[in-house]
Structure 1
Amino acid sequence: MVKEFLKHLFPRVVLKDNLRLTYTFCLGGMAFTAFSLLLASGMLLLFYYQPSPDKAFGSILFLESSVYGGRYLRSLHRLASHFFLVLIFLHTLRVILTGAYQKPRHLNWIVGFILLCLSVFAAYTGYLLPMDQLALWATQTGMELLNTAYFGGMIRDILVPDGVGQSLSLLRFYVLHIVLVPLAILLLSFLHFYRIRKNKGILPYL
């Protein structure tokens, strides 16, 4: 799978017509580039962020005011997340409008849709981490909406067992945001690119 993933990123031959700039040019590739930037900037943020209710907001203030380039780094991470969501939404829309979800690519459509859902969830879990008023109220609103869904109450109890912004809920959002969800997105991206190579004919140079 990794070999096919690398072949997709660095093909041996590319047809000239495929290099023409179009409105859908490499939306998936650009989304993965934004995700890579999120991983890199997020790993640097880990050196300063403290995942506890009484220290999280202070660590963000320290990063922005006392660390050289800290404000730029946090802004880069936030902007990359916005670009990532916009690009993956546009990529999904392009797949729907062009009918690229049909056989034999229906399995890859399912993988791509799961990637979209995970991307939105990654953004939601990251929103709480600064622990400012906007983060707390936005997360609280999301949890109340989730509580109205089928099995939503059970999922809410897993995510925020001690209430939004408390130590255990913040820790769970933190672990989800920096480990579990990014790892799932990365593995599914490998599978997604592998299936593109597997379904010969999607791109002429394959």
Structure 2
Amino acid sequence: MIEDFLKHLFPRAVLQRNLTLSYTLCLGGLAFSCLMLLAASGLLLLFYYQPTPAAAYPSILLLESSVWGGRYLRSLHRLASHFFLVLIVLHTLRVILTGAYQKPRELNWLVGCALLLLAIFEGYTGYLLPMDQLALWATQTGMELLHTMPVGGALRAALVPDGVGEPASLLRFYVLHILMIPGALFFLSGLHFYRIRKDKGVLPYL
């Protein structure tokens, strides 16, 4: 799968007609580019962010006021996350409108749906990390909405065992945001590209 993933990113040949702009605009590839940008910028942010209720917000203020390029780096990470979500949604709509989810691509459609849901959840977990007032209220609202869903109470207890913004809940959101969800996103992206090459319908020259 890793070999096919790399071949998809760096194909041995590209048809000339595939280099022209079309209505799809390579939405999936652009979304993956945003994901890599998020990983790179997030890795740099880890050098300054402190995942504790008392230090989280001051560490953001320090990053933006005292670190060279810190405000730009944080803005880049935030804007890349917005573009990532928009591009995945547009890519999903393109797949629906063109019927690309039909046989033999049903498995890849499910993988793509999982990527969309994980991308939304990744954005949600990252929203709490600055620990400002907006982040606290938005996360609290999301947790209350989750509580109204089936098994939502158990999920809420797992995510925020001691309340929104408390030490354990902030640490869980932090680990989910920087490790578990990104790992799942990159794994499913590799599987997604592997299935594209496996089906070969999208890339007739492979």
TM-score by length of 1: 0.99
Deviation at 1:203, TM superposition (A): 1.9
Q: Could you say which residue in structure 1 is the equivalent of 2:197?
A: 197
Q: Could you say which residue in structure 2 is the equivalent of 1:23?
A: 23
Provide the C-alpha distance between the structure 1 equivalents of 2:10 and 2:19, rounded to a whole number of angstroms: 14
1:185 aligned onto 2:185? yes
Which residue identity lines up with residue 179 of structure 2 in the other structure? V
SS in structure 2 opposite 1:164? Answer: coil
Provide the C-alpha distance between the structure 1 equivalents of 2:41 and 2:172, rounded to a whole number of angstroms: 21
1:158 aligned onto 2:162? no
SS in structure 2 opposite 1:48? Answer: coil
Contact kept, 8 Å, 1:101 with 1:108, in 2: the verdict is yes
Deviation at 1:81, TM superposition (A): 0.2
Contact kept, 8 Å, 1:41 with 1:77, in 2: the verdict is yes
SS in structure 1 opposite 2:54? Answer: coil
Please report the RMSD computed on the Cα atoms of aligned residues, expressed in angstroms: 0.6
SS in structure 1 opposite 2:12? Answer: coil
Consecutive unaligned residues in structure 2, runs of 5 or more: none
Q: Could you say which residue in structure 1 is the equivalent of 2:44?
A: 44
Q: Deviations over 1:100-142 (max 9, x none)?
A: 0001000000000000000000000000000000000000000
Q: What percentage of aligned pairs have identical amino acids?
A: 74
Deviation at 1:26, TM superposition (A): 0.9
Which residue identity lines up with residue 152 of structure 2 in the other structure? G
Q: Could you say which residue in structure 1 is the equivalent of 2:65?
A: 65
Contact kept, 8 Å, 1:15 with 1:204, in 2: the verdict is no
Q: Between Structure 1 and Structure 2, how many residues are aligned?
A: 206
SS in structure 1 opposite 2:84? Answer: helix
Which residue identity lines up with residue 118 of structure 2 in the other structure? L
TM-score by length of 2: 0.99
1:128 aligned onto 2:158? no
Provide the C-alpha distance between the structure 2 equivalents of 1:21 and 1:46, rounded to a whole number of angstroms: 37
Q: Deviations over 1:136-168 (max 9, x none)?
A: 000000000000000000000000000000000
